Structure formats: C-alpha cells, structure tokens
Amino acid sequence: MAIFLNQLGFVPGELKLAHATEGEESFEIRNAWGKAIITGRFSMPRYDEASGCTVATADFTSLEQEGQYTFISGESSASFRVAPNIYNAVGDALYKSFYYFRCGCDLLPEFAGAYAHKACHTEPAVVFGMDTKVDVSGGWHDAGDYGRYPAPGVKAVADLLYAYEMNPLAFSRPVGIPDSSSRIPDVLTEARYELEYLLKMQTAEGSVYHKSTPMRFCGMIMPEEEKEQMVLIPPDTVATADVAAVMAIACRVYEPFDSAFSDRCKQAAFAAYDYLSAHPEAVLPGRNPEGMNTGTYGDSCDKDERAWAAAAMYRLTNETKYLDESERYFAELEEMRASNNVGNSKWMDTMALGWSSMGGYVMMSVVFNSGADSMNPFYQKMRARLIAAADDFLAISKRSAFGVSLSPSDYVWGSNMNVMNNAVVLMLAYKLTGAQQYRDAAVQQWNYLLGDNPTGYCYVTGFGSKQVMHPHHRPSEADGVEAPVPGMVSGGPNAGLHDAVAKEKCIGLAPACCFVDETPSYSTNEVAIYWNSPAVLAWALMF
C-alpha cells in the first residue's frame, strides 16, 4: 500500500487528508513520542479513473495540535508536521525562484549560492528578416529553455502582482535578491525585473514584439554559453494587449513605492492600448518562421487579452468607456467560444488564467476592484461566471479520488499550472462567498501539488520527501550542482507523451501517472515561470 499526503505538512484549521491505494481499512496517527492520538477508518475505496488506482481517503482534519506526527496504516507510514507557518518556506522559495530565472545579469553567489553564474544574453536582438537591432536584455528566461516570451511572461508578472495586492503580508519576509530594500517588498522588486524587459519589448508605436529567442533551442548548457543571435519576432495584438493590461496593473501597484516607475508603466499601458484601438483586427501569433524551433505560444483569439486590457484600463482610470469596451470584447469572446472550435477545455474556458486563454483576468480586474459597482451588469456577469467556474472545479474534484480539479482528459502539458490556476479560482470564490467548501477544495489542490497525488512526487523542487531531482531546466542540468535550482514547479503529468522519454516510460499508464523525473522529459518535467506564478498566487490567497 502507498500513502500519499502533502509532504510539507498541514496548517491547523485547514483540511488534512491522506490517500492510500488499496489495502488497510484503518489508520493511526502517532505523535512524536509514539503515542497514538488518532485512530480512524479510511473512506470506502473507490476507483480513480485518472490514476487507474483504487483509492481510499483518510480525513484527520480534526488534528489541530502543532507537532510532528506519523501516519501509519498496516506496514506503511508517512511522517508530517502540523504548524501554523508551515508553508512560509515553500512560498518564499516559489517567488525567490524568479530570481534564478533572471536573464542579462550576473546571478551573485550572495543571493544564488551554488547556482551563481555570469550574465547572459546581453547582446542586442535583431528583428527577424531586418537589420534593426534592439536592446531587449533583462527579464526572466521562460522555462527550461532561455527564450523570453512576453505573453507567458505577462501571466507570470500578473500573478505575482495580484498575489502581492491580495495579501501583502505573505510577502513580508525578504528572500535574498539584489536591490532588496525595506521600502518595497522583494516580490515587487523581482516582478519589476520582468516589467523592465516588457517595456523594452514595446515598439515606438506601442505594439509589443512576440518573442526574443535565438533561431534554435540550444543544448543543455549554461545561459551565458548560449551565444546565438537573439531574434525578435514581429508584434502581435495578443502580446500588445497583455502588456497594456499588466502595465495598467503595475501602474497602480507601484504607485506608493516609486511614482516615476509607476508613471512609465502608465505611459506604456496607454501606448499599447491606443495601438490596439487603432488596430482592431487581430494579429495572432502562430507558427515559427522557417528555420526557427523555439516556443510558439500561439493563440487563436485576442478578445480575451483585449477585454483584460480594457478592464485594467478601467480600473486605472475609472473611465466607463473602458469598462464598456471590456464588456464588448468579452461578449465577442463568448460568442467565438460558443460558435467555433476555439476550444472547450477548462483552460480554454472564458474564465481561464492561462498564457493563451486569459478571460479569468478580466473577471479579476472587474470583480476584485475595490471601486467596483456591484450593481453593474458586467460585474454581476463576471461574478456569476467565477462562481460557475468554481462550482465546476468543485464537482470535478469530488469525482477525483484525490480531490484534484482535473478530469482524466485534463492531464496535458503543464497540468500543474491548471491545478494551481483552479486553486486560485476556488479561493476567489471563497473570498466572495465565504463558503468553506471552496476553501477546502483549494487547499486540496495545494496538497496535490505537494505530494498528495498518484505519482507521490512533491512537484516543487527542493521540497518534500520524494523530490523532483531532474527537471528539464538547462541551468540545473549544466551547473554541476546535484540538487536542482529550488522552488520551481514541475509541469507535471502529461498524457500527451510529447517527448521520447515519456513515450517510452509512460506508454500504457493512466493520465495522472504520465510523469518522468528525467531531464529529457520536457513534456512532463520542464519548469516554467508561469507554472510557478499561480502557485505563488494560490499560496498567498490561502495562507
């Protein structure tokens, strides 16, 4: 029998579960002195389609006393802690990890320890097919590769800014980054590093380049060893709307700390938004030009990004014309979703918080706005959509024996991003309604990420009793340090088997088990800034 639980432990007052695959009917929890303090029975075992296992649940939510414990059932056991601040370290690591993703500056031993390295990608990039050179140094590497792509970068920054805004106290501990100051929380200093890059990616017309990467993915080398020419792929309206939105948010968030920077963000937001207004036709990102193989980050629709930009501009300016525009774009988005095959999966839903489907951010701008008029019909619609999405995740979680909000068909590339995005949606529903079931379900998504899942891995590097040791992350592979860079979220199970290792090792496995902790398995075990960011936001909302 195997026991699965959150390997970091639990917080008093929150849901506490463990899951076991077939076997015993009863369990015992012993304290640090070996005394049994809880004896209980598992729920009726049930078949879990996503994992192909028969699974039973142990509920020991009543355990409130701080301490170190052992969960025992038959021959199996697992140890865990209960303590109020038990997730501080993982939360801090989750946002500190953005520092390790920095491009264009030395990572200093003082802050990066054994992961220190020299500055990378400092040479200007050339616009594809032209002679024009542009300085776009800075920002974060996207993932296990060294590309930098505005759309997913914007998702990552937005999550961090929302996390700070919705729970500033979660960010009261400095995490060890340069330019740290008592005047501004580290999370905002770090987010600014990416915002400065996004500002450089904006053209004089206000539009935003699609991406900055070389023509080809490099080998598993350190970033400063990648010397290929950086190429800029021409602007599209998705990246431009993303940047308009995030700059409008940044203008507000940085205002109390640095009015000059806040003002630059405002100018950028207006420039991007005005560009969009003058260019109503979508220019969508899609295929790579001939000879290029780096990430595509395609999109089939820019209505969600435009609706988000408009909603963010409304929140910034209080001018109702922006709210009206957001409402109109959102209605067009819904129409497109309903009438064609733009997508029907959860993360393609109009409430998604993904890198291509971003309707959920429209809802966040409209509903989680202290100045919002709750009688406004668009507000009411967004609020209703949020509750409907949360109810959907709740229902899916109830069908899963692990309590996770993924259906068997939802184990796609980066499935852990969706688990964390869903936790965010559930927590927002909890904030609005106070209904405990949303909070419990959100906490269970978090427990899943940290070990209460069918593979038994804690998916955050550097944490847990069964750790991810070989993420697809070039620095972690090339730096000669055994342990990977800490605090990174692995993409997680992907039944698509999109790489050779997954094809070989996961053939025939149930979707939730399609995960390989080996460096070459980029389709199950890569890391990415926009998989980390929703974990930061979920953590900040929950704890």
What string of DSSP letters covers 70-117? Answer: EEEETTEEEEEEE-TTTTHHHHHHHHHHHHHTB-SSPBPHHHHGGG-B
Q: Which stretch binds ligand G3I (CB under 6 A): 141-149, 224-232, 262-270, 368-376?
A: 141-149
Q: Which of 104, 206, 359, 414 binds ligand G3I (CB under 6 A)?
A: 414
Q: Which is nearer to ligand 9MR, 295 or 534 (CB)?
A: 295
CB of 296 to ligand G3I, least distance (A): 6
Considering only 5, 103, 243, 271, the residue that binds Zn ion (CB under 5 A) is: 103
Cα separation, 520 vs 472, in Å, equals 6
121 binds, among Zn ion, ligand G3I, ligand 9MR, none (CB under 5 to 8 A by kind): Zn ion
Q: Binding to ligand G3I by residue 526, rule CB under 6 A?
A: yes
Work out whether 345 is an interface residue with ligand G3I (CB under 6 A). Answer: yes
Please state, in angstroms and rounded to a whole number, the distance separating the CA atoms of residues 427 and 353.
14
Q: Is 159 in the site for ligand G3I (CB under 6 A)?
A: no
How far apart CA 269 and CA 252 sit, in angstroms, is 11
Give least dist CB 221 to ligand 9MR, A.
11
CA separation for the pair 372, 127 (Å, rounded): 42
Query: Judged by CB under 6 A, does residue 349 bind ligand G3I?
Result: no
- State the catalytic residue, choosing from 14, 145, 190, 236: 145
Rounded-to-integer distance, Cα 44 and Cα 444, Å: 19
Give the other-Cβ count within 10 Å of 113's Cβ.
Answer: 14
Shortest Cβ distance from residue 96 to ligand 9MR (Å)? 22
Q: How far is the CB of 267 from ligand 9MR (least distance, A)?
A: 33
Q: Which does 39 bind (CB under 5 to 8 A by kind): ligand 9MR, ligand G3I, Zn ion, none?
A: none
Q: Residue 359 binds what, of Zn ion, ligand 9MR, ligand G3I, none (CB under 5 to 8 Å, by partner type)?
A: none
| Residue 405 in tokens | 């909000």
Which of 8, 120, 170, 542 contacts Zn ion by CB under 5 A?
A: 120
**Residue 236 is among the residues annotated as catalytic for this protein:** no
In the complex, minimum distance from the CB of residue 412 to ligand G3I, in angstroms, rounded to a whole number:
4
CB of 138 to Zn ion, least distance (A): 9
Query: How buried is residue 221: exposed, middle or buried, by Cβ count under 10 Å (0-12/13-18/19+)?
Result: middle
What is the Cα gyration radius of the chain?
23
Query: Which listed range, 45-53, 85-93, 204-212, 410-418, lies at the site for ligand G3I (CB under 6 A)?
Result: 410-418
Burial of 408 (0-12, 13-18, 19+ CB in 10 A): middle
Find the shortest distance in angstroms from Cβ 184 to ligand G3I.
Answer: 30
The binding site for ligand 9MR (CB under 6 A) comprises 143-145, 217, 293, 295, 522, 526
302, 325, 452, 526: the active-site residue: 526
User: Within its chain, how far is the Cα of 131 from the centroid?
Assistant: 36
CB nearer to ligand 9MR: give 91 or 295: 295
Which residue in the list 19, 141, 210, 472 is annotated as catalytic?
A: 472
- The structure tokens listed for 244 are 């308009």
* Annotated catalytic residue 190: no
Say whether residue 121 binds Zn ion (CB under 5 A).
yes
Whether residue 106 lies in the annotated active site: no
Number of residues this chain uses to bind ligand G3I (CB under 6 A): 16
Q: Which of 255, 479, 517, 518 is catalytic?
A: 517
Cβ distance to ligand 9MR smaller for residue 127 or 218:
218
Q: Which does 120 bind (CB under 5 to 8 A by kind): Zn ion, ligand 9MR, ligand G3I, none?
A: Zn ion
Binding mask 485-504 for ligand G3I (x = CB under 6 A): -----------x-x------
Q: Is 165 exposed, middle or buried (0-12, 13-18, 19+ CB in 10 A)?
A: middle
Instruction: Give me the amino acid identity at 5.
Output: L
Q: Name 133's Cβ contacts closer than 8 Å, sequence gap at least 6.
A: 124, 125, 126, 127
Instruction: Tell me if 511 sits within 8 A of 408, measured CB to CB.
Output: yes
| Burial class of residue 312 (count of CB atoms within 10 Å of its CB; 0-12, 13-18, 19+) | buried
Give whichever of 164 and 522 is closer to ligand 9MR, judged by the CB atom.
Answer: 522
Write down how long the chain is.
543
Span interacting with Zn ion, options 14-22, 81-89, 216-224, 246-254, rule CB under 5 A: 216-224
Closest approach, Cβ 498 to ligand G3I, in A, equals 6
410 catalytically annotated: no
Q: Which is nearer to ligand 9MR, 224 or 518 (CB)?
A: 518
- Three-state SS for 531? helix
Q: List residues bridging with 40 in a β-sheet.
A: 27
- Partner that binds at residue 217, options ligand G3I, Zn ion, ligand 9MR, none, CB closer than 5 to 8 Å by kind: ligand 9MR
Q: Which long-range contacts (CB under 8 A, 24 or more apart) does 122-126 make?
A: 123/229, 123/230, 124/230, 125/212, 125/229, 125/230, 125/231, 125/232, 126/229, 126/230, 126/231, 126/232
- Sheet with 76-82: strands ordered across: 36-41, 26-30, 67-73, 76-82
In eight-state DSSP terms, residue 148 is B
The set of catalytic residues is 145, 472, 517, 526
Residues at the interface with ligand G3I (CB under 6 A)? 142-143, 145, 147, 295-296, 343, 345, 412-414, 496, 498, 522, 526, 528
